[in-house]
Amino acid sequence: MIQLLPLFVAIPLGAAFLTALAAFKARRLADVGSALATGALLVLAVITIGRQGVYPVGGFLAPLGITLVLDGFSVLLLLIVNGIGFLATLYSISYMERYTSKYKYFTLFLLMIGGMNGVVITGDVFNLFVFLEIASIASYALVAFGGEHEELEASFKYLVLGSVGSGFILLAIALVYGATGQLNMAGIAMALAGTDKHLLIAFASVLFLAGFSVKAALVPFHPWLPDAHPSAPAPISAMLSGVLIKALGVYALARIIFNVLGATPLFGMIVMGLGVLSMTVGVILAVGQWDFKRLLAYHSISQMGYVVLGIGLGMFILASGGDSVVAGTALLGGILHLANHAAFKSLLFFCAGSVEFRTGTRMLKELGGIQEKMPVTRLTCTVASLSIAGIPPLNGFWSKLIIVIATIQAAFTYPGLLVLTAVTVLVSFVTLVSFLKVLRYVFLGALPDAFRKIKESPFFMGVTIVSLALLCAGMGLLLVPAARGAILDPAIEALKQGLGYGSRVLAGM
Amino acid sequence: MVFPLCFALFVVGLYCVLAKRNTVKIVIGLAVMEYATNLFFILLGYRKQPRLADVQAPIRVSVANLDDFFFKAVDPLPQALVLTSIVIGVGVTALALALCIRLYQRYGTFDIDEMRRLKG
C-alpha cells in the first residue's frame, strides 16, 4: 500500500496536464477524465484508512532524502480533500457549463488537489512549501476564473496576502534550516527533541504561525477570505472553504507546531486566542451580510475558530503537562469539527451555487419563495444550516459538544477557561440566528415573478448535494467506537506524540 | 552582521506591499521579500573557513581528495532550494502581473484605492 503513496500527487498532476492536452480534441474528455482521476483518488484515500508508513522518494532514506509520511492525521485529511474534491468535480460538470474553456478550469482544479494532497502527505518542510505554493497559485487563478471586476479584485487581494504568508513560511523554513541543518520534518524533530528552546526556533514558530494563519484565514489575517470565496465559482468556493483553508492552514500549522518544532504553553494560548477571536469576529461580521456566499464565507472564519480553539486547547494542555485525556478530548473536538465543517460548509456553498445557477442572483433580499421550485436544494440547505448551528443529531452538534466538554474539563484546572465555554455556546447561538435568516429569505416568503419558471438543479449537482446532506446527517457515527478507532483516534495520537514523531518516522513507523 | 541586513530587506519588501497603492509596485514589493529570503538561504550555505579564496562551488571534481572537498565546499542544499524558490517566485509574479494587466483593462487604473467594488 505504502508504495501507492506517490499516486496521491502523481494522479492529479498527470491528469491536469492530460486534461489540458486532451481537451483540444474532445471537450467531454475533460469532464470524464477529471471525474475518473478524482474518483480514483477517493478510492485510494479510502484504502489508506487505518494504515501508516513512510515512503522514501527516489530511495533516499529519511533524514537525508525527501519522505512521504502517512499517519492518522494525514489519512483524515486525505479523506476530506479527495472526498470533497470528487463531489466538487461532479458538481462542476453541470455548473461550469456557464463558463467558456471548462478544461482550463479542470486543469487548475486538479493542480490544486495535487498540491493539497502533497501538503498532507509530505514529510519535508521545503517540500511542504512547494506543494503549498502549487495549491495556492492554482487557487489564485481559480478565484479569478470569471474574469470580471470583482473576481480580479478578489484574486489580486488573495494573491498579495497569500504571497506574504508564503514569504513568512519560507523565511521560517530558512531559519529552521539554519538552526538545525535539517529540512526533513523527522530530522528537525530529532534535532530539537530534548533541547532547550532556541530563540531562533521561537522566532521561526511565530513566522510559521503568521504564514499559516494567512492561509487558514484566522482573524487578524482574514481579509482575503470574504472577498475570494464569494467571487470564485461555486465548486471552488466549496473547495476553498471546505478543504483548502484546512489542508494549507490548520493541518500544516498543527503538523509543524506539534510534530516538528514542539509546542509550548504560551504558543498554545496564542493559538487559542486566535481561535476565539476568529469565532467571535467572524460570526459578528456574518450577521450583517446580505450576499449569500459572503455570509457563508464569514461563517467559515467563525467555524475555523472552533477548529483552532480545539487544537490550541489540546496544545496548551499537552505542553503545560496537563491531563492527557482532556487534551485528547480537545483535539478530538477540533479534528472532528474540521471534518464536519468540510461536509456542511461545502454543502452550503453548493446549495448557494445551485440557487445562483437557477435564479442568477445571490443577494438574499432579491431571493425568496423558491422552496416549491427547488425542494431538494431547500431540504439539503436546511440540513446543512442546522448542522452548522449545532442542532442534534446532525454532525455539527457532536463536535461542538465535544469542544464544550473539553473546555469545561480543562476549566477544573484553569478556571479562566470557563469564558471559552460561554463564548463557544454563544457563538453557536448567533450562528443559528444567522442561518434562520438565510432559510427565511431564500426559501420562504413570496415568490418573485422572475423565478416562476425555475427548475430544480441539474442531475449531477443534485447528486452532489444529496450525498453531502447524507454525510452531514451521518457523520456523528464517526464517534461510534469502531469508526473512531479507525479514523479519529489515529489522528489524535499522531498529534499527541509530539516530537516523538521524529524517531517514529526515522524508524519507518 | 549580514543576516540582520537580509531581514531588513525582507521588511523593506513587506513595507512596500503594505504601503504602496500601485498594483505593480505591490508586486515589486513581493519580489523584494522573496529575494531577501533567497539571499538569506544562500548566506546560510556560505562558509568562512578556510580562506575565502579556497571556498569551492559544491561540484566534485575528483574522487581522490574527498575530505579536502568537504572542508572547502559550500553547502549545496540552499542553492538547490533557492533555484526551486526562484521558479515558484516567477510563477507568482507572472500571475500577479497578468492580474494587474486585466485589472487595468477593467478599471483603467493601477491604483488599488479605486478598485473598491468589494466591501463589508
Q: Do A177 and B44 touch (CB under 8 A)?
A: yes
Chain A residue at shortest CA distance from B94? A137
- Distance, CA of A118 to CA of A423 (rounded, Å): 35
CB contacts of A159 in chain B (<8 Å) are 92, 95-96, 99
Chain B residue at shortest CA distance from A166? B34
Q: Has residue A498 got a pLDDT over 80?
A: yes
Mean pLDDT confidence for A435-443: 89
pLDDT of A249 reads 93
CB contacts of A289 in chain B (<8 Å) are 120
Is residue A138 classed exposed, middle or buried when 0-12, 13-18 and 19+ CB atoms within 10 A define those classes? buried
pLDDT of A284 reads 93
pLDDT of B119 reads 62
Domain ranges of chain B: 2-114
Q: Do A167 and B13 touch (CB under 8 A)?
A: yes
Question: pLDDT grade, residue A503 (50/70/90)?
Answer: confident
Chain B residue at shortest CA distance from A284? B120
Identify the CA nearest to A341 among candidates A468, A482, A441, A496.
Answer: A468
Question: pLDDT grade, residue A361 (50/70/90)?
Answer: confident
- ipTM of model: 0.92
Residue type, A220: P
pLDDT of A370 reads 83
Q: Do A167 and B102 touch (CB under 8 A)?
A: no
Q: Has residue B61 got a pLDDT over 70?
A: no
Q: Has residue A60 got a pLDDT over 70?
A: yes
The C-alpha of A199 sits at a distance from chain B's nearest C-alpha, in angstroms, of: 15
Question: pLDDT grade, residue B51 (50/70/90)?
Answer: low
pLDDT in tens, B1-38: 678 899 999 999 999 999 999 999 999 999 999 999 99
Architecture label for domain B2-114: Orthogonal Bundle (1.10)
The C-alpha of B117 sits at a distance from chain A's nearest C-alpha, in angstroms, of: 6
Best of A125, A134, A149, A152 to mutate (most B CBs within 10 Å, chain B)? A152
With beta carbons less than 8 A apart as the criterion, state whether A192 and A237 touch. Answer: no
Q: Has residue A197 got a pLDDT over 80?
A: no
- Identify the sign of the CA torsion A368, A373, A376, A379: positive
For chain B, what percent of residues have pLDDT higher than 70? 82
> CB-based contact (8 Å) between B33 and chain A?
yes
pLDDT of A120 reads 95
Q: Do A153 and B88 touch (CB under 8 A)?
A: no
Residue type, A73: F
pLDDT of A30 reads 83
Q: Do B117 and A149 touch (CB under 8 A)?
A: yes
- Report DSSP state, residue A97: G
- Distance, CA of B94 to CA of B92 (rounded, Å): 6
Question: pLDDT grade, residue A311 (50/70/90)?
Answer: very high
Mean pLDDT confidence for A316-338: 91
Chain A residue at shortest CA distance from B87? A130
Question: pLDDT grade, residue A360 (50/70/90)?
Answer: confident
Cell of A174: 530558512
- Identify the sign of the CA torsion A166, A142, A279, A410: negative
Q: Do B10 and A167 touch (CB under 8 A)?
A: yes
Best of A139, A170, A184, A203 to mutate (most B CBs within 10 Å, chain B)? A170
The C-alpha of A480 sits at a distance from chain B's nearest C-alpha, in angstroms, of: 42
pLDDT in tens, A114-163: 999 999 999 999 999 999 999 999 999 999 998 888 899 999 999 999 99
Q: Do B37 and A170 touch (CB under 8 A)?
A: yes
Identify the CA nearest to A211 among candidates A179, A257, A243, A242.
Answer: A257
The C-alpha of A70 sits at a distance from chain B's nearest C-alpha, in angstroms, of: 24
- Identify the sign of the CA torsion A11, A14, A17, A19: negative
H or E segment to which residue A7 belongs = helix A7-22
Q: Has residue A449 got a pLDDT over 90?
A: no
pLDDT in tens, A32-59: 889 999 999 999 999 998 888 899 988 8
